[in-house]
Amino acid sequence: MINKLSIPRRPLEGNEAQVCCFIIQLLLLKTPQFRSRVQDFVKDNSSEHWRQNNWHEKHLAFQRKFPERFGPPESVLESIGQGGSYQSLPTYFGNVCLRFLPVFDITIHRFTEIPPVTKSLETILEHLGCLYKFHDRPVTYLYTTLHYYERKLRDRPLLKRKLVSSIMGSLKDVRPPGWALSESYLNYSTRQADDLNWLPELDYYVKLVGRLVDTTAGRSPFPFPAMDWRFNEFPNASCHALYVTAVELLALPASPAIVANALMDVVLQGYNLLPVSEATPLESWVNAVGLLLTYLPESYWSVLYDRIVELLSGPQLSTYTYPCSPLHLFHFSTVVGQGLDAPFVLLLAVSHAFFTHANIGQMGGLPQFVKDRLHPLIRTEEQYLWLCHLIGPTLQRFSVDKPKCVFDLTVELYELLEQVDKNVAEIRMIDPICDLLYHIKYMFTGDQVKTEVEQVIRNLKPPLRLRLRFISHLNPQ
């Protein structure tokens, strides 16, 4: 086993790495000794060994059939005059099959890094993937693999499907039906090897997100079969639902942009058709979509930024024609409660849900995104107000986790205000805008950005300079 582990961990590239993978395949599959052990062990044992009354008897029977020796070879013992007298301790809690699992984890990752050996990996999974029945965290391992190697697996949908079907399928005998993957994906996984053309409709994503929403809310009937969470890799049903849903999204044969857009469209386009109730309001669906985005790689959640750019550059905000105030249309409860046109508040809600659950690495790029991609777009007061609604709720988290982002965003807000002030004849919502800037100063920045702010305020029109005079301490005339 040590030899099998040392081979995939060697830093080989190019043809040498392919030869290394070929040797590993021969060691694992060419000789029947190891494969026969795996087949016998999987057939006669259960991963839920605590439910077996005769587990130890089966273990001893397996050791008698396939004895393992941990001492020196007999030839060495005979050379030192101890032939037949060496007695090694018996193995009570493991065997070569269980010890191979961590080696198998590394081997799969190594094969994934080398695209030319994809077929070899599929063959190994076909013969030995059943061992993941005994893995202590199979879903977590699958999620981590699909997440980390997303770029490597993006153009290899057959391998993704093989990974999911091998690891999840190994547990079909010890898990009830419907415990992880949706019925639609299970039907896809049973297709012919070359049949990879599946582009799910919006209804598929609604059901997938709805399963997570219902699980989180604890609705009855329960979306997942009853399982004993004391011996599960996840502490509760909500965590289990989150991981298996992320695994299924990562395993789809569609591009990250298609999957992420469809996931957001569950709320942005289908919000009128969602089964909203008192137990699962629209906010629960928004929260589930934002949470799922944070559990997907950057190529997925960065699509949210693309949707923000699309909205701000579109005619709805660049040429505002609605009869009511933008502050009215940017208020979630008002818009949803009155059934008004909701593209502004729904994207705001999904963005806020994403920023609430995101780690600081995912949030840290927001100032640069505003500077590079939004700054050239914002010319109207309505665009600026929408951006204020987007940035405002993030400042509290930034002030705790990454204060520099607060300073960068604040300076950007002032520079964009100057840009809007020069572009429009008159700013109508001048008081709410100035209230926000005063709030940021007294709650977050203080005088940290005083120099940059004063330079901008000097260039504003008199009405804005007058209202911001306590920030700049400049003569408003």
Query: Is it the case that residue 477 has pLDDT exceeding 60?
Result: no
d(CA 370, CA 413): 9
- The pLDDT-based confidence of 2 (bands split at 50, 70, 90) is very low
CA torsion, points 305, 432, 392, 267, in degrees to nearest 10? -50
Q: Whole-number mean pLDDT of the chain?
A: 89
Cβ burial of 101 (10 Å; 0-12, 13-18, 19+) is: middle
Least confident of 205-214, 223-232, 356-365, 442-451: 223-232
Q: Where are the domains of the chain?
A: 1-47+55-69+93-135, 174-332, 359-477
**Residue 67: which region, alpha, beta or left (left: phi > 0; alpha: psi -120 to 50)?**
beta
What's the pLDDT score for residue 417? 97
Over the stretch 133-153, which tens digit does the pLDDT of each residue have? Answer: 999 999 999 999 999 999 999
Q: What is the pLDDT of residues 166-210, one digit of tens each?
A: 999 999 988 988 999 999 999 999 988 778 889 999 999 999 999
DSSP of 164-186 = HHHHHHTTTTTS-TTSSS-HHHH
pLDDT digits (tens, 9 = 90+) for 53-94: 888 888 888 888 888 777 666 666 667 666 556 666 667 678
Angle at 272 between CA 269 and CA 276, to 5 degrees: 120
Which tokens go with 199? 């582009």
CA proximity to 390, closest of 398, 278, 43, 296: 398
Instruction: Read off the pTM.
Output: 0.91
DSSP label of 393: G
Q: Helix 202-217 vs helix 237-251: angle between axes, to the nearest 10 degrees?
A: 160
What is the C-alpha separation between 449 and 459, in angstroms, rounded? 16
Residues 399/444, Cβ–Cβ less than 8 Å: yes
